[in-house]
């Protein structure tokens, strides 16, 4: 029996790691680091920095693997997720086969493995899934990093919060967190909403903007564009809230 740890590493600040996460990384025989291509080298570097800073067990081995890329040029892009997950599952299968029998491998998962992350779902595709013990170590999510950066509570007293993606953002009827938004979906929302926006949350490059949506939307669009050009990638998250 092999053990697989999905260790939440937070959203870009090595200090987001919990003590549980540090102990888990030090227990592993193999640490798996995805290489998502040159444009996202910062993300692989952060994982290496975490390992250099916290992994003191000399027998832990780092294994970098090329992450299959989803083909955005394919007209069947939305439907293509299944094939993409199959390709990742195949890669995971090879990594897991390399864990010594009775040993432990660990994936360093961005944020928390339970929020908009497919690692758990992809593991379900593996033919050897039943022979694996899977353990999740929770991490700080982009939502927590966002509300902390703005020093606001996520919810209002007794109120619900809706979490969605940019693609699925519809009319905002309750407080709504938007992630995975490549198309600045907030531009279609009611300008009287309040937005709390953050990019590169937790990193030294963190940017935050807040205000009445109609007043700050253009500033966010321009800031986002310039930052994306400068870094080659961007991750941003925002909360839309009706004003009291």
Ligand X SMILES: C[S@@+](CC[C@H](N)C(=O)[O-])C[C@H]1O[C@@H](n2cnc3c(N)ncnc32)[C@H](O)[C@@H]1O
Query: Within a 10 A sphere around the Cβ of 163, how many other Cβ atoms?
Result: 17
Among 27-35, 42-50, 51-59, 141-149, which window interacts with ligand X (CB under 6 A)? 141-149
- 179 makes contact with ligand X (CB under 6 A): yes
Burial (CB count within 10 angstroms: exposed 0-12, middle 13-18, buried 19+), residue 25: buried
Position among 29, 33, 96, 112 found at the interface with ligand X (CB under 6 A): 112
Q: Among residues 140 and 193, whose Cβ is nearest to ligand X? A: 140
29 touches ligand X by CB under 6 A: no
Look at the alpha carbons of 92, 95, 97, 100 in this order and tell me if their dihedral is positive or negative: negative
Q: How far, in Å, CA of 109 to CA of 200, rounded?
A: 16
Q: Is 44 in the site for ligand X (CB under 6 A)?
A: no
Work out whether 237 is an interface residue with ligand X (CB under 6 A).
yes
Pick one of 200, 209, 213, 220: the residue that binds ligand X (CB under 6 A): 200
CB 178 within 8 A of CB 186: yes
142 binds ligand X (CB under 6 A): yes
Smallest separation (angstroms) from ligand X to the CB of 127: 25
Give 84's contacts (C-beta < 8 A, 6+ positions apart): 68, 70, 71
Q: If binding is defined by CB under 6 A, does position 12 make contact with ligand X?
A: yes
Q: Would you say 22 or 115 has its CB closer to ligand X? A: 115
What is the Cα 4 distance to its own chain's centre?
19
Q: Interface with ligand X includes 198 (CB under 6 A)? A: yes
CA distance 128 to 216: 50
Residue 181 Cβ vs ligand X, minimum distance, rounded to whole Å: 6
110 binds ligand X (CB under 6 A): yes
Q: Is 34 in the site for ligand X (CB under 6 A)?
A: no
21 near ligand X (CB under 6 A): no
**Residue whose CB is less far from ligand X, 6 or 193:** 6
| Cα gap 107→157, rounded to integer Å | 36
Residue nearest to ligand X (CB): 111
- The number of CA neighbours under 13 Å toward the Cβ of 142 is 29
What is the Cα–Cα distance from 112 to 133, expressed in whole angstroms? 19
What does the alpha-carbon distance between residue 191 and residue 30 come to, in Å, rounded to a whole number?
Answer: 49
Could you tell me the smallest distance in angstroms from the CB atom of residue 202 to ligand X?
5
Our finding on whether 111 is near ligand X (CB under 6 A) is yes
Interface positions with ligand X (CB under 6 A): 11-12, 110-112, 115-117, 141-142, 145, 179-180, 198-202, 235-237
């Amino acid at each position: 029996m092999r053990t697989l740890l999905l260790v939440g590493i937070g959203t870009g600040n090595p200090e987001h790691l919990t003590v549980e996460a540090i102990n888990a990384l030090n227990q592993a025989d193999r640490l798996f680091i995805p290489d998502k291509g040159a444009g996202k080298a910062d993300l692989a570097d952060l994982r290496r920095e975490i390992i250099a800073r916290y992994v003191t067990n000399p027998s832990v081995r780092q294994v970098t693997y090329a992450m299959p890329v989803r083909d955005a040029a394919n007209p069947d892009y939305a439907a293509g997720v299944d094939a993409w997950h199959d390709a990742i599952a195949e890669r995971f299968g090879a990594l897991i086969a390399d864990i010594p029998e009775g040993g432990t491998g660990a994936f360093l998962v961005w944020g928390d493995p339970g929020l908009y992350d497919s690692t758990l779902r992809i593991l379900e595709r593996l033919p050897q899934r039943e022979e694996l013990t899977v353990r999740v170590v929770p991490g700080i999510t982009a939502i927590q990093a966002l509300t902390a950066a703005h020093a606001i509570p996520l919810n209002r007293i007794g109120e619900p919060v809706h979490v969605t993606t940019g693609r699925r953002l519809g009319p905002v009827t309750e407080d709504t967190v938007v992630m995975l938004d490549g198309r600045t979906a907030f531009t279609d929302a009611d300008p009287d909403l309040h937005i709390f926006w953050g990019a590169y949350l937790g990193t030294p490059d963190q940017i935050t903007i807040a205000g009445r949506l109609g007043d700050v939307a253009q500033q966010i669009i321009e800031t986002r564009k310039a930052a994306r050009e400068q870094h080659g990638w961007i991750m941003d998250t925002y909360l839309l809230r009706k004003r009291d």
